[in-house]
Chain A
Amino acid sequence: MTLPVADYIAAWPEILLLTMVCVILVADLFLRDDQRGTTYFLSLATLAMCVGVIVVSARPGVHFALNGMFVDDPMADVLKVMVCIAVAAMLVYSRQYAMQRGMFRGELFTLVLFATLGMMVMISANHLLTLYLGLELLSLSLYALVALQRDSKDNTEAAMKYFVLGALASGMLLYGMSMIYGATGHLEIPKIAQAIAGGEANGTILVFGLVFVVAGIGFKLGAVPFHMWVPDVYQGAPTAITLLISSAPKLAAFAFVMRLLVESLGAHALQVEWRQMLILLAVASMAVGNITAIAQTNLKRMLAYSTISHMGFMLLGVLAGDLNGYGASMFYVSVYTLTSLGAFGMIMLLARDGFEADRLEDFKGLNRRNPWLAFLMMLLMFSMAGLPPTVGFYAKLAVLQAVVNVDQVWIAIVAVLFSLVGAFYYLRVVRLMYFDEPTDNTPIRGDAGVRLLLSANGLAALLIGIMPGWLMALCQRAIQASL
């Protein structure tokens, strides 16, 4: 068969990334340990090139490629650009941290880039197998990254838990996908949707498949009751990797939810089914995430529970089940990624050799030690709590508007009540930084790049909050043009 050249345009960024990962993998073999900076810059350059290619090759409308395995639509473009930026930020933040812990090696970069490739494949998947392939590429890279410091007991334990539960989730997901295949006879997403719309599918099997798929999604997102791995992995993994897990993959997970639930199983009868399940997942996540976070003394663990609750919030937009809601969810997840990057970046900046700065007490009196960092962290915390004028507020506003719009006012009320609970523990961080005296007066070292990026990141939480219109509109247009 002949493949028209245009077919590949959709996958250019992925092709570029894969090529570059291979180049970096080989090139790194010839570098001495003190030349590792080259790998670092090559990785950043690769990500920058990917962004460039995505932007240049962006086309309006939906384009299928590679025999319907792959799709390139505006939603994918926007999400991929965000993923590349988030991963690049992660590399910058973790440079010093990784150096101090002997993690600044070629494996870190190749694995991170492979994870990025996995995310991009997930985002652009148009076929259940492509989707699964991307997911596994991402997950396997992350398992290895968590265990990168092989002598650390905590890291290995976290990796083990992550791997076992992740494998279980993948199993569920595959089982669900196989049922969908059985019911519709297709693996290609638009064809599944057609088959369901045409009434050819066996309803019972389809609903069973849907349950397994939702459970798999729940695992991957870390939504309650499938959340058990999240706190352990967040706390056990090196902070650099926690940062990676908690940021860019959430963007990919959003795309994953969209492709699976909305694009393949979006028929009205099924939507009614998954909406019920998502309501349960979302409300339980917000409840458990926010309430349990209060009891934490470890900041990474607290942020893990906070992630759980944020994923619950993100699901609110999806369960609204209309374009308005999907756009709100996409905005929510981009905002979440932005603040999460900043919060973990801050932990890494405060960390130093042999000291993780991941306990809440480590933030005591930060305002005395460094008012600017305390101010940035305050912005990030308020953004997570969803307080105006930070951007987190508009994210909450958007999803709340989406659920109220479909007459689910009660969910909105439940959501705001739990976000009040959430405000309590974000506030605790601010309280420790501003109201307490420092117990640790070691000067904070960090290279200029990290400080600059962190400043930009924290200020973005405020400035995008003052002018949130463009990002909201971007997400909304991307969703509208893609569905």
Chain B
Amino acid sequence: MNNGLPLLTLAIWVPILSGLLVLATGSDRNAATARWLALAGAIAGFAVAIPLATGFDTASHSMQFIELTSWIERFRIRYHLGIDGISLLLILLNSFTTVLVVIAGWKVIDSRVGQYMAAFLVMSGLMNGVFAALDAMLFYVFFEATLIPMFIIIGVWGGPNRVYAAVKFFLYTLLGSLLMLVALIYLYNTAGGSFSIADFHALPLGATAQLLVFLAFLVAFAVKVPMWPVHTWLPDAHVEAPTGGSVVLAAIALKLGGYGFIRFSLPIAPDASHDLAGLMIALSLIAVVYIGLVALVQTDMKKLIAYSSISHMGFVTLGLFLFDRLATQGAVIQMISHGFISGALFLCVGVLYDRLHSRQIADYGGVVNRMPVFAAFFMLFALANSGLPGTSGFVGEFLVIMGAMKINFWIAFAAATTLVFGAAYTLWMYKRVVFGAVANDHVGELQDIDAREWLFLALLAAAVLAIGLYPAPLNAVLEAPVSDLLAHVAKSKLPGN
């Protein structure tokens, strides 16, 4: 199965070590070296993730590519890696996105290039670690460590208000994860001295304990997702971050929250999950509907996409707390699809921003006259974001709405409004930016995308269409982990059951 190579270790450490290598190139005199090294590292990182996909056994219900070594004896913390279908998809998404981000930052970033590229590579490795960790403390270390490169990325290469955004991002997410740390330690003690996630899953817990543990996890993961009302860091962070930062934030970092719910909250505290499902569904629907409306009135493109992200991530939490097979699968597919679409939209805005240095919708108009190829790509992603059938955006949302319909018509109805609002804010923005007559002289001077930009947009377009037209492989990979998850959540952990 894993033909002897520790593939997951490679998926984590190849990007991190190549990041350090890039860092060693030093000052901007060696910027070209740093760029090529970073590209090589990112591609190598993706290359080591491919055997994970080809060697993956979709029929298996257990973790695959297991690696297990003792790490910190004193607390029996183990270097324990392994993946199921959900982690596999997220690792592939992450490794793929890293390549795009390196290409996207190729020309745009001209100061401290080495540090920029290194931060992304290190982060990519850490994210893979989060998705592959089967030991709760190992998970936590990776989870927290991702904050550091992201903080630096926003703060160093971000927009005018970057310092505020970076600190807000950092403190918000740290607050959540510190409470999770206490919960993990509590579980460790209750489990008789083990940080193994599998042991946590099997641990019987009383109602109060479950509730508290669930709430601690909720703070951590809700901030990451982000759920309403703890979402306010996200628009700030997105707007100020450089394009690459926004892409990674939207495509990968937000997924840590959804993944956390799947790996921790639901299986560890199933009874509390059921008890609080109403609250979670309500919060998710607020995110979907209310944040969708907020997106409608944005004048800044990045902010609009940021709010759209929150609204779409609402589908993930909604799908997870319906405890339905279709909805859960839909939630995971939505995570993957949102990774591609929001990444693509941020890259599109980046393409425009690099040329005009403005994110305001009002500064554009008639872009199609000067950039027809770009307009076509942008169109595809805008439609995917609105949930057009045939794109990946449709699959996840549709499955979640189907699942909701089985449970309650009104939940499904509220969720379905996103198809209207999503189309409204995305396409209205698209119309104002792209169509019409050339709005001003700056737009008149625009050049269409070059080969580099064409490359990353085309790669994303292919991914969005592939998932949209033929989602069966995704469903096959998700079949086993989703049914395991549902079986786990359905079983009460209360003593006496």
Binding site for B on A (CB under 8 A): 367, 371, 382, 387-389, 393-394, 397-398, 400-401, 404-405, 409, 412-413, 416-417, 419-420, 423-424, 427, 430-431, 434-435, 468-469, 472-473, 476
Closest to B170 in A: A427
A404:B186 contact, CB within 8 angstroms: yes
In contact, A387 and B188 (Cβ under 8 angstroms): no
Contacts of B152 in A (CB 8 A): 434
B150 to chain A, nearest CB (A): 12
- The yes or no answer to B276 lying at the interface (CB within 8 A) is no
Within 8 A of A (CB), among B165-198: 166-167, 170-171, 174-175, 178-179, 181-182, 185-186, 188-189
Chain B neighbourhood of A430, CB < 8 A: 151
Of the four ranges (under 10, 10 to 19, 20 to 34, 35 or more), the interface on chain B belongs to: 35 or more
List B contacts of A398 (CB < 8 A).
74-75
Given contacts A387-B147, A404-B182, A420-B174, contact A469 B155 (CB under 8 A): no
A416, B182: Cβ atoms closer than 8 Å? yes
The answer to whether A400 touches B148 (Cβ under 8 A) is: no
Contacts of A404 in B (CB 8 A): 182, 185-186, 189
Complex CA gap A31/B478 in Å reads: 78
Within the complex, the shortest CB–CB distance from A466 to chain B, in Å, comes to: 9
Determine the residue in chain A with the shortest Cβ distance to B26.
A371
A416-B189 contact, Cβ under 8 Å, with A423-B174, A476-B74: no
Q: Is B231 among interface residues, defined by CB-CB distance under 8 A?
A: no
Residue of chain B at shortest CB distance from A477: B74
Are B181 and A397 within 8 A (Cβ)? yes
The chain B residue sitting closest to A387, CB to CB, is: B144
Known: A400-B185, A412-B182, A412-B185. 15 other contacts (CB 8 A): A367-B112, A371-B27, A387-B148, A388-B145, A389-B141, A401-B188, A404-B182, A404-B185, A413-B182, A416-B178, A420-B175, A435-B155, A472-B73, A472-B75, A473-B74
Task: Confirm or deny: B297 has a beta carbon within 8 angstroms of a beta carbon on chain A.
Answer: no
With an 8 A cutoff between CB atoms, is B109 at the interface?
no
In angstroms, Cα B178 to Cα A472, docked, is 21
> How far does the alpha carbon of A412 sit from the alpha carbon of B167 in the complex, in Å?
24
Q: Are B166 and A387 in contact (CB under 8 A)?
A: no
Known: A387-B148, A431-B155. A371 touches B115 (CB 8 A): yes
| Chain A residue at minimal CB-CB distance from B70 | A469
Is B377 on the interface with A (CB-CB < 8 A)? Answer: no
Contacts of B179 in A (CB 8 A): 413, 416
Residues of B within 8 Å of A388, CB to CB, are 140-142, 144-145
Closest to A375 in B: B23
**Complexed CA–CA distance, A397 and B181 (Å):** 8
Within 8 Å CB of B302, what residues of A?
A: none
User: Which residue, of B74, B162, B170, has the highest number of chain A Cβ atoms within 10 A?
Assistant: B74
With an 8 A cutoff between CB atoms, is B156 at the interface?
yes
In the assembled complex, which residues on chain A have CB atoms less than 8 Å from the CB atom of B174?
A: 387, 420, 423
Contact B182 A409 (CB under 8 A): yes
Please name all residues of chain A whose beta carbon is closer than 8 Å to the beta carbon of B155 when the two chains form the complex: 431, 434-435
Given A405-B189, A420-B178, answer yes or no on A431-B167 (Cβ-Cβ < 8 Å).
yes
When chains A and B are docked, how far (Å) is the Cα of A417 from the Cα of B171? 11
Query: In the complex, A382 Cα to B75 Cα: how many Å?
Result: 22
Cα(A38)–Cα(B171), bound, Å: 49
| Contacting pair A401 B75 (CB below 8 A) | yes
Q: Which of B71, B166, B188 contacts A435 (CB 8 A)?
A: B166
Task: Tell me which residues across on chain B come within 8 A of A401, comparing CB atoms.
Answer: 75, 185, 188-189
20 contacts between A and B (CB under 8 A): A367-B115, A371-B26, A371-B115, A387-B144, A397-B137, A397-B181, A398-B75, A401-B188, A404-B185, A404-B189, A413-B182, A416-B181, A419-B178, A423-B171, A423-B174, A434-B155, A469-B72, A469-B73, A469-B74, A476-B74
Chain A min CB distance to B120 (Å):
16
B72 touches A472 (CB 8 A): yes
In the assembled complex, B163 has its CB within 8 A of some CB on chain A: yes
**A400 engages B147 (CB within 8 Å):** no
A383 to nearest B CB, angstroms? Answer: 11
A423 contacts B170, C-beta separation under 8 Å: yes
Within 8 A of A (CB), among B117-153: 137, 140-142, 144-145, 147-148, 151-152
Contacting residues, chain B, for A409 (C-beta < 8 A): 182, 186
State the majority secondary structure of interface residues on B: helix
Which residues of chain A have C-beta atoms less than 8 A from B74's C-beta? 398, 469, 472-473, 476
Beta-carbon contact of B171 and A424 below 8 Å: yes
Cβ-defined contact, B171 with A400, below 8 A: no
Give CA–CA (A176, B428) in the complex, Å: 77
The winner among A388, A401, A472, A473 for most chain B CB atoms within 10 A is: A388
Contacts A389-B145, A397-B181, A434-B155; is A468 near B72 (CB within 8 Å)? yes
Can you name the residue of chain A whose Cβ is closest to the Cβ of B152?
A434
C-alpha spacing A357/B179, complex, angstroms: 36
> Across the interface, do A417 and B178 meet the contact criterion of CB distance under 8 Å?
yes
**Bound Cα distance from A185 to B476, whole angstroms:** 78
The verdict on A424 contacting B167 (CB below 8 Å), with A388-B145, A393-B144, A472-B72 known, is yes
A371–B24 CA distance with the chains assembled, in angstroms:
11
- Alpha-carbon distance between A472 and B137 when the two chains are bound, in angstroms: 15
Residues of A within 8 A of B156 (CB): 367, 434-435
Bound-complex Cα distance A393 to B143 (A): 13
Closest to B75 in A: A401
The answer to whether B144 and A394 touch across the interface, beta carbons within 8 angstroms, is: no
Residues of the A chain whose Cβ atoms lie less than 8 Å from the Cβ of B163: 431, 435
Report, nearest first, the 6 A-B pairs whose CB atoms are least far apart.
Answer: A416-B178, A388-B141, A472-B74, A469-B72, A435-B155, A388-B144
Instruction: Give every chain A residue within 8 A of B162 (Cβ-Cβ).
Output: 435
Give A398 Cβ to nearest chain B Cβ, in Å.
Answer: 8
* Residue of A whose beta carbon sits closest to that of B144: A388
Complex CA gap A66/B479 in Å reads 73
A424–B175 CA distance with the chains assembled, in angstroms: 11
A370 to nearest B CB, angstroms? 11
Complex Cα–Cα for A435 and B115 (A):
13
Cβ–Cβ contact B72 & A427, under 8 A: no
A387 to B148, CA, bound (A): 9
For residue B39, give the distance in angstroms from its CB to the closest CB of chain A. Answer: 22
Q: Min CB distance, A397 to chain B, in Å? A: 7
Q: How far is the CB of B208 from chain A (nearest CB, A)?
A: 12
In the complex, what residues of A have CB within 8 A of residue B186's CB? 404, 409
* A382-B171 in contact given A405-B189, A435-B156, A469-B71 (Cβ < 8 Å): no
A74 to B170, CA, bound (A): 41
Residues of chain A with a CB closer than 8 A to B142's CB: 388
| B145 near A387: Cβ-Cβ < 8 Å | yes
Q: What residues of B have a CB within 8 angstroms of the CB of A405 in the complex?
A: 189
A314: min CB distance to chain B, Å: 17
- Return the chain A residue nearest B143 by Cβ: A388
Q: Among A400, A401, A405, A430, find the residue whose CB has the most chain B CB atoms closer than 10 A.
A: A401
Instruction: Give per-residue flags for B47-81: 1 if the beta carbon is below 8 A from chain A beta carbons, else 0.
Output: 00000000000000000000000011111000000
In angstroms, Cα B118 to Cα A367, docked, is 15
Alpha-carbon gap, A419 to B141, bound state (A): 16
A363 to chain B, nearest CB (A): 14
Q: Measured between C-beta atoms, what is the minimum distance from A303 to chain B in Å? A: 20
CB distance from A201 to the nearest CB of B (A): 34
Which residues of chain B have C-beta atoms less than 8 A from A424's C-beta?
167, 171
A420 to B73, CA, bound (A): 28
Report B245 CB to chain A, min CB distance, Å: 14
Q: Is the CB of A393 within 8 A of B170?
A: no
Q: How far is the CA of A367 from the CA of B152 in the complex (A)?
A: 11
User: How far does the alpha carbon of A276 sit from the alpha carbon of B174 in the complex, in Å?
Assistant: 29
- CA A388 to CA B145, docked complex, whole Å: 6
For the complex, give the distance between the alpha carbons of A434 and B155 in Å: 8
* A394:B182 contact, CB within 8 angstroms: no
A473 nearest in chain B by CB position: B74
A388 and B72 alpha carbons, distance in the complex (Å): 14
- Nearest-Cβ distance from residue A214 to partner chain B, whole angstroms: 27
Closest to B162 in A: A435
Alpha-carbon separation in the docked complex, A364 to B147 (Å): 21
A27 CA to B18 CA in the complex, in Å?
53
